[in-house]
Amino acid sequence: MGAQAPFFVNSKSVRSDLFCHHPMNFFNRWFEKTGDVLFPRSCVACKKEGALLCSTCFANWNTTHLSSEDLKGGDIGKQFWTFAYADPIARELICSWKYYFDATAWSILQAKILPSFSNFREVIRSERIEAFIPVPLHDQRFCERGFDQAETLARFLAQELGCACRPLLVRERNTGKQAERTPEERCVSMQENPFSALPFSVPKNLILIDDVWTTGSTASAAASALRARGAEKIFIYTIAKG
- Per-residue pLDDT tens over the stretch 114-151: 988 888 999 999 999 999 999 999 999 898 888 999 99
Residue 190 vs residue 112, higher pLDDT: 112
Distance CA 141, CA 51 (A): 29
- Sequence length of the chain is 242
Under DSSP, the state recorded for 19 is: G
Residue 14: phi and psi, rounded to 5, are -65, -45
The pLDDT of residue 62? 82
Closest among 74, 66, 152 to 113, alpha carbons compared:
66
CB 198 within 8 A of CB 170: yes
Distance CA 108, CA 110 (A): 5
User: What do you get for the CA distance between the two ends of the chain, in Å?
Assistant: 39
Q: Which of 6-20, 27-41, 88-102, 129-143 has the lowest mean pLDDT?
A: 6-20
Pairing state between β 131-134 and 164-165? parallel
The pLDDT of residue 161? 96
pLDDT in tens, 69-115: 999 989 999 999 999 999 999 999 999 999 988 999 999 999 999 98
pLDDT of 191 over the 50 cut: yes
- Angle CA 191–195–199, to nearest 5: 140
Helix (H), strand (E) counts: the chain: 10, 8
- pTM, whole model, 2 decimals? 0.81
Distance CA 154, CA 133 (A): 7
Continuous segment of H or E residues that includes residue 83:
strand 78-84
- CA atoms within 13 A of residue 193's CA, in its CB half-sphere: 16
Distance CA 129, CA 228 (A): 18
